[in-house]
C-alpha cells in the first residue's frame, strides 16, 4: 500500500498556500470561505486526488449536510407542478446554505418511513423535507420520535394539532382566495360564484372559507353560490357552464387553475353563443405555467419563500444540541401569504 | 474517548444475527439483500447507532453511488415540464439500481463545471446526468477530460459529432412528428400545415424534417405549408388563425403543446365564426399535463425509458476498470422512439 503517498489535509493546504483550517472550512463549511480561495483549495484537492473527502468529513462532523426529499410520482394534473417548482427553489436555497438535496421515491407512508431509516442510517442524510402532509400522518410521528430534523411543506390537517407539533410552513390558501374574491368585488362584481372541489379536503375547504370571508366584507354582495367538482378541465367547463346559465353571475373564483382553464373554455363558448350576455371575470389558483400561458389571473404560491423558511428551520434543528435555541410554536409554524397575480381574465367590463 | 464502545460491523452482525458479509452487503450493495434481512440489519444499525456508515463505505469503495443532476431554473413554459418528469423517472430508476440522485443548481456552463468539480471532489458524487445539451458544449468536454462518468439526455448538436463522442440518449423527435403527420394523412387529410419554431434550433429543425418525411410518403398530399413563431400560446393562436384562413387546410401539426394550445383556441373561435368551414384536426408535442387535460393528441417522450438507459450507461462506466466492457458507439448513443398519443383533437371528420 502506498499509504505514505496518500494526500492529507496538510499537503492540500501546502499546495493551495492556505492554512489547514481553511482547507477544513472548504470541506466542512464552504459558505464561510471566499470564492477565490475555495476555488484554489478545490483545485489543489483535485490535483492531488484527495478524495473522497466527504467520507472523512462525515466521520468527523457526523453530519452529511444532505437533506432528503421525496419526489412524488409524476403528476398528471396541472396543479401538481407546484411541487416541482418547490423542488427547484429548495435546491437553490439549500445550496446557498451549503446543503444538498438528495431525492428518493417511495410508495405508501410505511414505505416512506423505511426510506427515511435507510437514508438516515446508511446514506447519512441529516434531515428531511416532507410535502403533502395529510391527516393522521405516521411519517411525521416517526421522525419526531427518532429526533431526526425535518420540516413539512403543508400544515398538519389533524383536528388535534398537538399530535403534530413539528416545524411546518404552509401557504395561506384562505387568504389567497380572499384576495381573489376581493379583487372581483372591488371591480364591481356582485354575484360571484365559487367553483370548488368536493367538501372534506383540508386545502379545498380552507380556500372556500376565504371566498366566504370576502363576500361578508361587502354587504351588497349576493349570497354565496358554489359548484363543486373533481379537479380537471372538463369538469371545470361543465361546472362553469352550469352556473353561468344565470346571467347575473359575472365572475368566477376557481379553486385551481385546472378548473379555471375549463371555465375559460365555457366563457369563450358563451361569448359566441350568447354575445349579449354580460362578460365573465375569472380567477384560478396556483399560477401554473398554463395560467401564465393563457393570461389567467391566479393566486401564486411563493415557493421560494417556503424553501427559504424550510432551510432555516432545518438548520436550526441541525445545530449541535448545546447551541440549539428553543423556538416558540409561532416560530416553527409559518403561514405564508400568497400573491394575487392579476392578468387579463379578471379584467372585464362589469 | 469512548472508542471501545463504538459499534462495529461485527456488533451489528451479532445483533442482527447475520454474517459480517451481509451487513457489508446492506451497506455496499443493498439491492442484493432480501428486504426482511435488510430491514433487520438496518434496525440493528439504528439501535446501536452505527453511523454514518456511508463514510466508511465511501472510504472503502471510493464510490458514493450518488449521481449529480442539475435542476434548471423553474421553467415558465408548458414544455419545460418534460425535464421535471425526467427527474421523477430518473430518481425512481436510479433508486432501484441502488443509486441516489443529488441535485444542484448553477448558472452558465462554466459555473456548472465548477459545481461538477465541487460535487466530485468534496461531495464524492460519482457521475452526472446532463440535460439540455447544446452546440459547443464545454461541460461534456470537461467531464470527458476528467474521465468522470456521465451521460446526457440530448444528443450533441455539433456538426462535428466526433468532438463529443460521449454516452447520450435522446428522443427521436423527427420520428415522432412523422408519426403525427402520418396519422393525419391516414385519416384522409391532404393539406396539412406545420406550426414550428424559428429555424436554427437543432430540436425544432429535426421535428420539421419529420413532417417533410411524412408528406413525401403520400403523393396526393399538398406541398409543405409552414408557419414559424416563438413558442407560446398567443403566438400559436395567431399562427393558426393565419394559416387557417385557407379553408383547404384541415389539419395542423404543431412543434409543441404550447403552440397547439394556442391553435386550439383559434380552432374553437372558427367553429363559432365560420361554422361551415371544414373542421380542423390538431396534434401537439410533449404530451404535457395540459395536453391530457384538454384532450389534445400529442407526441409523448418516454422519459422512463430514457432514465433506464441513462442509469444503465452510467453503471457500465462506473465499473472497476478491469471489469469495464468497451461499448460501441451504437450502444452508447441511444435514440428512443416517442409515442403518439391519440386523443380527441386529431379525430375530426375530414
Asked if A182 and A294 sit in the same domain, the reply is yes
Q: At what angle do helices A53-61 and B109-122 cross, to 10 degrees?
A: 60
Domains identified in chain A, total number:
3
Asked if A167 and A177 sit in the same domain, the reply is no
- For residue B261, which of B227, B296, B292, B287 has the smallest C-alpha distance? B296
Map residue B121 onto helix, strand or coil. Answer: helix
| Inter-chain touch B105–A95, beta carbons under 8 Å | yes
Chain B residues with CB inside 8 Å of A88's CB? Answer: 71-74, 105
Asked if A274 and A313 sit in the same domain, the reply is no
Residue B289 belongs to domain with CATH number = 3.40.50.2300
Asked if B188 and B275 sit in the same domain, the reply is yes
Do B94 and B311 meet the contact criterion of CB atoms below 8 Å apart? yes
Asked if B288 and B314 sit in the same domain, the reply is no
Query: Does the structure show a pLDDT above 90 at B302?
Result: yes
Q: According to the per-residue pLDDT averaged within each range, which of A32-46, A248-262, A324-338, B130-144 is highest?
A: A248-262
Whether A4 maps to a domain, the answer reads: no
pLDDT for A3: 38
Asked if B318 and B263 sit in the same domain, the reply is no
Quote the cell numbers at residue A281. Answer: 371575470
Asked if B211 and B236 sit in the same domain, the reply is yes
Residue B35 belongs to domain with CATH number = 1.10.260.40
Asked if A18 and A73 sit in the same domain, the reply is no
Whether A57 maps to a domain, the answer reads: no
Asked if A139 and A218 sit in the same domain, the reply is no
pLDDT for B21: 84
Whether A58 maps to a domain, the answer reads: no
Query: Does the structure show a pLDDT above 80 at A75?
Result: no
CA distance B133 to chain A (A): 19
Query: Does the structure show a pLDDT above 90 at A64?
Result: no
What gap in Å lies between CA B209 and CA B200, rounded to an integer?
A: 12
For residue A199, give every residue at least 6 positions away whose Cβ sits within 8 Å of its Cβ, in sequence order, or none: A205, A228
Asked if B84 and B150 sit in the same domain, the reply is yes
Average pLDDT over residues B169-195: 97
pLDDT for A238: 97
Asked if B84 and B149 sit in the same domain, the reply is yes
Sheet (strand A281-283) strand order: A225-228, A192-196, A251-254, A281-283
Overall residue count recorded for chain B in this entry: 350
Query: Does the structure show a pLDDT above 70 at B37?
Result: yes
Domain that holds residue B90: 66-171+303-336
Q: Is the model more confident about B197 or about B42?
A: B197
Phi, psi of A172 (to 5 degrees): -85, 85
Kindly identify which residue of chain B lies nearest to residue A72, measuring between CA atoms.
B88
Asked if A192 and A282 sit in the same domain, the reply is yes
CA-CA-CA-CA torsion sign (B85, B88, B92, B94): positive
Chain B residues with CB inside 8 Å of A295's CB? Answer: 234
pLDDT tens digits for range A165-217:
899 999 999 999 999 999 999 999 999 999 999 999 889 999 999 999 999 99
Whether A61 maps to a domain, the answer reads: no
Whether B136 maps to a domain, the answer reads: yes
pLDDT for A84: 82
Q: CA–CA distance from A70 to each of A138, A179, B95 (Å)?
A: 15, 32, 12
What gap in Å lies between CA A159 and CA A136, rounded to an integer?
A: 9
Whether B47 maps to a domain, the answer reads: yes
| Inter-chain touch A74–B53, beta carbons under 8 Å | no
Query: Does the structure show a pLDDT above 70 at A289?
Result: yes
Do A68 and A128 meet the contact criterion of CB atoms below 8 Å apart? yes
Query: Does the structure show a pLDDT above 60 at A8?
Result: yes
Whether B218 maps to a domain, the answer reads: yes
pLDDT tens digits for range B210-257:
999 999 999 999 999 999 999 999 999 999 999 999 999 999 999 999
| Inter-chain touch B293–A64, beta carbons under 8 Å | no
pLDDT tens digits for range B252-300:
999 999 999 999 999 988 988 999 999 999 999 999 888 888 889 999 9
Q: To the nearest whole percent, how much of chain B has pLDDT over 70?
A: 88
What gap in Å lies between CA B155 and CA B144, rounded to an integer?
A: 15
Chain B residues with CB inside 8 Å of A71's CB? Answer: 87-88, 91-92
Whether A2 maps to a domain, the answer reads: no
Amino acid at each position: 500500500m502506498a499509504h505514505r503517498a496518500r494526500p492529507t489535509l496538510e499537503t492540500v493546504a501546502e499546495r493551495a498556500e492556505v492554512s489547514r483550517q481553511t482547507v477544513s472550512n472548504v470541506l466542512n463549511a464552504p459558505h464561510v470561505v471566499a470564492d477565490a480561495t475555495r476555488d484554489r483549495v478545490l483545485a489543489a484537492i483535485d490535483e492531488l486526488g484527495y478524495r473522497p473527502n466527504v467520507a472523512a468529513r462525515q466521520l468527523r462532523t457526523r453530519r452529511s449536510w444532505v437533506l432528503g426529499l421525496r419526489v412524488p410520482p409524476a403528476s398528471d394534473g396541472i396543479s401538481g407542478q407546484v411541487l416541482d417548482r418547490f423542488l427547484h427553489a429548495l435546491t437553490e436555497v439549500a445550496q446557498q446554505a451549503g446543503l444538498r438535496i438528495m431525492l428518493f421515491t417511495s410508495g405508501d407512508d410505511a414505505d416512506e418511513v423505511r426510506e427515511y431509516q435507510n437514508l438516515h442510517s446508511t446514506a447519512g442524510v441529516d434531515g428531511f423535507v416532507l410535502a403533502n402532509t395529510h391527516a393522521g400522518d405516521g411519517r411525521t410521528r416517526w421522525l419526531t420520535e427518532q429526533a431526526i430534523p425535518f420540516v413539512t411543506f403543508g400544515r398538519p390537517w389533524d383536528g388535534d394539532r398537538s399530535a403534530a407539533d413539528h416545524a411546518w410552513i404552509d401557504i395561506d390558501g384562505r387568504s389567497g382566495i380572499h384576495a381573489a374574491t376581493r379583487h372581483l368585488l372591488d371591480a364591481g362584481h356582485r354575484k360571484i360564484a365559487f367553483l370548488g372541489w368536493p367538501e372534506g379536503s383540508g386545502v379545498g375547504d380552507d380556500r372556500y372559507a376565504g371566498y366566504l370571508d370576502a363576500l361578508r366584507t361587502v354587504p351588497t354582495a349576493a349570497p354565496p353560490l358554489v359548484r363543486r367538482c373533481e379537479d380537471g378541465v372538463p369538469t371545470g367547463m361543465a361546472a362553469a357552464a352550469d352556473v353561468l346559465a344565470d346571467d347575473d353571475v359575472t365572475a368566477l373564483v376557481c379553486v385551481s387553475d385546472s378548473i379555471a382553464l375549463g371555465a375559460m373554455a365555457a366563457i369563450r363558448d358563451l361569448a359566441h353563443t350568447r354575445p349579449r350576455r354580460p362578460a365573465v371575470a375569472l380567477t384560478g389558483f396556483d399560477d401554473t405555467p398554463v395560467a401564465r400561458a393563457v393570461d389567467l389571473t391566479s393566486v401564486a404560491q411563493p415557493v421560494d419563500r417556503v424553501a427559504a423558511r424550510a432551510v432555516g428551520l432545518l438548520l436550526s434543528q441541525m445545530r449541535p444540541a448545546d447551541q440549539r435555541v428553543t423556538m416558540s410554536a409561532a416560530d416553527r409554524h409559518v403561514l405564508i401569504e400568497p400573491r394575487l397575480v392579476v392578468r387579463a381574465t379578471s379584467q372585464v367590463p362589469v
